[in-house]
Structure 1
Amino acid sequence: MSDEIMTTAEAAEADAMPRCHEVHTREGRTSPAAAAPESVKAKPVGQKSPAEWAYERLILYIQNFEKTLDNEHEVAMGFVGGDAGVLKIEGMGYFDPDIVTFYGSDTSGNKTQLVQHVSQLSVILRALPKPRAQAEPERIGFRLAADLEKD
């Protein structure tokens, strides 16, 4: 804890700014917070529901992960602690105050949805090969980030 004294404006700005710290073995990796749109920074964290704040940070992680993928792979998520498999992320949302949901399909192409309480949130982002018939990979992270900018 810092002994630094902050003005009210500095305290409000510090509360609004997402804080993230990461160290990687490879050069060139960036923090998801570095790409946070102004809409994420504009509303102080203390004014966001746990679901909204988790949703926004997940978008940043997904988008950051997608930046590391080649054109033959798309983002998917594995389920932690179970045999439920993998879900290709095709959509994501939240329901205040504390629910985050993921929409997509499993490796067999079956429609899948995960509804998760933020206190149980644990996601593994995985790279899955895109379907061969699909010309370009789908990048849900960039679509989700663009939606944040609309708010």
Structure 2
Amino acid sequence: MEVRTPLIAEMNRAINKQQFDRDNPVIAVFKGLHEYVTGFESSLDDDHEVGARLVTFGQSIQIHVQNIGYKAPFLITFTGVDSTGSQLQLVQHVSQLSFLLVAVPKLQEKPFRVGFIWDK
């Protein structure tokens, strides 16, 4: 019978999570999005925030991005609002991802900065 201490059990969980992160394509895509969005966001002035223009079926929607998250193994989620203030959530498979970053005028006094929801 194998006896495991809490420390060994925690180490095993950490090793399994590291292996999962390496083997899961959504983690790499999410980390790349994080780098691109934070880089883009750092170039914005105080009158703009990160927006995205989504083009599907001949229609274009512009959103003010509030959060980006993921659901393993293949889904990326984007939440935000459109120019009318309507709440939006886009759920997209990593193989279909196309995300055009645009600077959009802020909707409130203080510009919103994107939150990243890790390890959903």
TM range (shorter): 0.7 to 0.9
Please give the residue correspondences for 1:59-74 in structure 2 after superposition, counting only pairs within 5 Å: 59-74=34-49
Please give the residue correspondences for 1:1-150 in structure 2 after superposition, counting only pairs within 5 Å: 47-81=22-56, 82-131=58-107, 134-140=108-114, 143-144=115-116
Q: Which amino acid aligns with 1:130?
A: K
Residues 102 and 114 in structure 1, CA contact (< 8 A), matched pair in contact too: yes
In the TM superposition, residue 112 of structure 1 has moved relative to its aligned partner by 0.4
Q: What SS is found at the alignment partner of 2:73?
A: coil
Unpaired runs of 5+ residues, structure 1, are 1-42
Q: Which amino acid aligns with 1:54?
A: V
Q: More strand per residue: 1 or 2?
A: 2
For normalisation by structure 1, the TM-score amounts to 0.60
For normalisation by structure 2, the TM-score amounts to 0.74
Question: How many aligned positions are there?
Answer: 101
- Percent identical among aligned pairs is 37
In the TM superposition, residue 49 of structure 1 has moved relative to its aligned partner by 1.1
Q: What SS is found at the alignment partner of 1:53?
A: helix
Q: Which amino acid aligns with 1:111?
A: Q
Distance in 2, Cα, partners of 1:97 & 1:72: 36
- Structure 1 runs of 4+ off > 4 angstroms? none
Distance in 1, Cα, partners of 2:81 & 2:23: 29
Q: For residues 86-116 of structure 1, give each alpha carbon's deviation from its aligned partner in whole angstroms, at most 9, with x where no partner exists.
A: 1111111111111101001111111101110
Distance in 1, Cα, partners of 2:106 & 2:111: 6
In the TM superposition, residue 47 of structure 1 has moved relative to its aligned partner by 1.2
Unpaired runs of 5+ residues, structure 2, are 1-17
Of structures 1 and 2, the one scoring higher in RCO (CA 8 A, sep 6+) is: 2
Q: Which amino acid aligns with 1:96?
A: A
